[in-house]
Structure 1
Amino acid sequence: MSSPLVERIELDELTCWRVRTEDAELQVAQQGAQILGYQRDGEPPLIWLSNQAAYQKGKAVRGGVPVCWPWFGDLRRNPAEVQGMHEGGPLCPAHGLVRELDWELLNIDTDGPTVHMAFAVDSRSPLLPGWPHAAKLRLDIRLGEALQVSLTSHNLGDTPLAISQALHSYFAISDIREVEVEGLDGCPYIETLEDWQLRKQQGNIAFSGETDRIYLKTPSRMSIVDRAWKRRIQLDVEGSASAVVWNPWIDKARRLSQFAEDAWQGMLCIETARVMDDILVLKPGEEQRMVLNIASKPL
């Protein structure tokens, strides 16, 4: 292939783009600026997408890399500064207000074998319900030898802006019972499944049941070690010191939408985040960027 190929496609109700380079393929939806899939040639997918995913307007797609903003998870579990940004009202969905919006496509360009896509959403148009603040959110996606995802928040108002956020990344794995996560040894974490107790990670993370943990003071590099697939998914981050590690396991999987009963075995979320004491507080006119680099390394 002499140059990357970018084509617009329709998946049911959603406008999407398929990007093909010499050795990788990427799919991105305009709704939520959500990455749906990423795979290197000769390997299993790196990004997991549910085989029951629904491509419907106004409905988040299960899998990929949803953008959670201007809060993460249940707003009521966020720090007071983030909660105070919301004026209340009936619409207060988990993971914020931008996952189900069509973002503006700013550009698609190529630089040799690298493809760059940029999307943006402005909180003033459309007005985000219950959140009357002037801000712009931009997502830059670069596909080359690895995949880089960059989320930039810009406070356009004249008062400080407090937000939490995450790149809610679903990773494809051989079997959750066989993989480990490296890089978080010694990090404090909140065990949300046991009264939000504060604990400390000892060694690598292994999985034997439902997992929903918020890790704090996280390093710039974490890895998913997958011996069955003989690879390491290496995650290098900037502008983030917190992460969420999640797998629903058996019982919760049965209650999730767009999720097969056995799908928990083949996926793991490590969510690059700014949550809890790592929330983002932007001064008037200030912008900050959070970057995730995803690379596949052989074991």
Structure 2
Amino acid sequence: MNNLNAAELCQGVSYSNSTAEFGSADNAPVVVVDTAYCRAVVSLLGAQVLSFIPRGGRDWLWLSPRARFTEGQAIRGGIPLCLPWFGVNRHQPGLPKHGFLRSREWQLRAAECMADGAVRLRFEISSAEGEFTQFPWRYQVVAEMVFSDTLRLQLTISNSSATTMPLSFAMHSYLAVHGLDSAVVSGLDGQHFLDNTDELRRKLLRGEQRFEGEVDRVFEGVRTDQRIETSERRLRVSGTGCDTVIVWNPGAVLARTMADVGDSYGQYVCVERGRAFADEIELDAGAEWRAEMCLSQAP
């Protein structure tokens, strides 16, 4: 199964590479969406949105200036797709963190210019034979993205195995901020969370989420939208079929140990939607799960 060729792309969609777009040495293939609504860049590696700039605005996403674009290595920033599990695999901790698919190349199978001027892209990937000894289920994933004055990302995960498949995932959005000390996340007041900086102890958030030092929190069973407010902008993160909210920033101490973050830790917060921990899914044989996350401007 191959990518669409350049002649099959709709108006406003083109192929480029990571060198031309971000100055990287890796020259990895990317897809560019350039319309009256926005300019966006998506890597074929990981089907990962790397940039989303609404017309007249600034990028909603953060991409590390030290990001690498090499198959088998995760790209730091944008919206990585963590599949078919999120974080450390709870059943087999020795498996790669965040699954296989964020560091594999996906296939672009459709590029559609919609009647309202938006663009829809569809990427597909299937489980690889080499994974089967580690994760003995066969699955397919479709990622559909709609680019307008909002960014919509829909995942459809199908289990083509004969047995029930454990599934957790996250749409791991790195949201750009201009000053971490001014970043505030609302919509989680009164929610319990698992604190990954304190052995996953269960705690209660009172008020807004702020960022003072390392923050690594998993909120399960969340039905509300989140609002991210900084001195520059207000964004809303909403979702269906993805009731787990993960809020993360490494803080200065941990960031110093991360080669692709370093002093840049204050330029982003992660507010992710997915299904993890108590929200993990047991996906029946032949069944599929659909989830959607939307980033939009908040009033």
Q: By the TM > 0.5 criterion, same fold?
A: yes
DSSP 3-state at the match of 1:105: strand
The Cα shift of 1:58 comes to: 2.1
Residue 216 (structure 2) aligns with: 212
State percent identity of aligned pairs. 27
Instruction: Give the number of aligned pairs.
Output: 282
Q: Aligned-residue CA RMSD in angstroms?
A: 1.7
- Unpaired segments of 5 or more residues in structure 1? none
Please give the alpha-carbon distance, in whole angstroms, between the structure 2 residues aligned to 1:153 and 1:173: 31
1:14-72 per-residue CA deviation (whole Å, 9 max, x = no partner) reads 11111011031110011111111111122221011011111222211110111111111
The equivalent of 1:262 in structure 2 is 263
Residue number in structure 2 paired with 1:234: 236
What amino acid is the match of 2:265? W
Aligned to 1:159: 163
Q: Secondary structure at the residue paired with 2:158?
A: strand
> Does the CA contact (< 8 Å) of 1:57 and 1:100 recur in 2?
yes
Aligned runs of 1:140-159 on 2, under 5 Å? 140-159=144-163
Hey, what does 2:112 align to over in structure 1? 109
Moved >4 Å (runs of 4+): 124-129
2:133, 2:162 → 1: CA distance? 20
- Residue 6 of structure 2 is matched in structure 1 by none
- The answer to whether the 8 Å contact 2:247/2:269 transfers is yes
| C-alpha distance 200-4 of structure 1, shift in aligned 2 (>3 A) | farther
- Specify the alignment match of 1:49 in structure 2: 63
Q: Does the aligned pair in 2 maintain the 1:188–1:217 contact within 8 Å?
A: no
1:33 aligns with 2:47: yes
**SS of the residue 2:252 aligns to:** helix
Please state whether the residue corresponding to 2:182 is helix, strand or coil: coil
Give how far 1:262 is off: 2.1
Q: Distance in 2 between matches of 1:172 and 1:238?
A: 23
In 1, the alpha carbon distance for the partners of 2:130 and 2:236 equals 36
The answer to whether the 8 Å contact 2:45/2:69 transfers is no
One-letter amino acid matched to 1:209: G
Amino acid at match of 1:8: Y
Higher-helix-fraction structure: 2
Alignment equivalent of 1:191, drawn from 195, 199, 203: 195
Q: What TM-score comes out, normalization by structure 2 length?
A: 0.90
Q: Give the TM-score, by structure 1 length.
A: 0.90
Deviation at 1:257, TM superposition (A): 2.6
1:220, 1:190 → 2: CA distance? 18
